[in-house]
Amino acid sequence: MLAGAFDLAGRTAIVTGGTRGIGLGVAQAYAQAGANVVVASENHDDVAQAARQLTDQGHSAHGIACDVSDAAALEALVESTLAAFGGLDILVCNAGITGQAGSWSLDDFDQVMAINLRSIVALTGLSLPHIAARGGGSIILMSSLSALRGNATINAYALAKAGVAQLARNLAVQWGPKGVRVNAVAPGLIRTPLSEPLMANEAFMARRLQMTPLRRVGEIADVAATCLFLASDAGAFITGQQIAVDGGTSITDGS
């Protein structure tokens, strides 16, 4: 059983925010495991490039431009996936924005919530019946370390990510009887283009590594491997959880 536990052959996955960083890493991991992968993002050229990168490596992939804040675009994403591959088994909701650091602007709050939480409610609602119709599958919602503790800088983002974790728990209860597992992943500091300014800040990095028992920054592969585990039969008895991929940052007192 364990030899094939991570095999995704014959399954179809949608990865939003899948053209760079963690999203692209997850898409690559799924493609390498044999899945048909639909890469979605709002920029048409970025989507085409990411899909071509996967197909050039011999994988089954399709790119669909989708603004996750657009209800019609979300419907088209699901319908286009069904048309291309005949079904849907895995959904990774990774698209998101940070918002304005330190802002309590309600306009910023509304935008962050619309993209980081409301769009996920909408997309999971569209996807769940199709995943259940295949006999079950897996949904993975991208949360954050910021959802696990207080944060004075990325206020709306942290609130939205905490909501994402609760959404995973709610959906896990609602759809578990139909064989659908729903989990959240909470990355800590991961080496991506988005985190480069933080990693260039020596004072910040000294504090962060002191607060991280493994004493290193996470890599995209660390998050992608966790998402592969949750999507595959290896994670078949795990649902409703928020798994921190943070090197232990969330559990230490800094000593």
* Inside any domain, residue 33: yes
Question: pLDDT tens-digit profile of 197-228?
Answer: 888 999 999 999 999 999 999 999 999 999 99
* Inside any domain, residue 29: yes
Does residue 14 register a pLDDT over 80?
A: yes
Instruction: Check if 157 is active-site.
Output: yes
* Inside any domain, residue 235: yes
- Report the distance separating Cα 204 and Cα 41, nearest Å: 31
Partnered with residue 92 across adjacent β-strands are 15, 140
* Inside any domain, residue 252: no
Does residue 254 register a pLDDT over 80?
A: no
**pLDDT score recorded for residue 31:** 98
Question: pLDDT tens-digit profile of 106-136?
Answer: 999 999 999 999 999 999 999 999 999 999 9
User: Average pLDDT for residues 57-77, to the nearest whole number?
Assistant: 97
**pLDDT score recorded for residue 1:** 57
**pLDDT score recorded for residue 2:** 75
Q: In the chain, how many domains are there?
A: 1
* pTM attached to this predicted model: 0.95
Cβ neighbours around 245 below 10 Å, total = 20
- Quote the domain boundaries for residue 94: 6-191+219-244
* Inside any domain, residue 161: yes
Check 157, 185, 242, 245 and give the catalytic one: 157
- Interacting residues of 252 by C-beta distance below 8 A, sequence separation 6+: 211, 212, 213
* Inside any domain, residue 208: no
Does residue 3 register a pLDDT over 90?
A: no
SS3 assignment, position 1: coil
User: Average pLDDT for residues 246-250, to the nearest whole number?
Assistant: 96
Q: What is the domain-level CATH number for residue 74?
A: 3.40.50.720
* Inside any domain, residue 40: yes
* Inside any domain, residue 15: yes
Decide if 14 contacts 81 (C-beta within 8 A).
yes
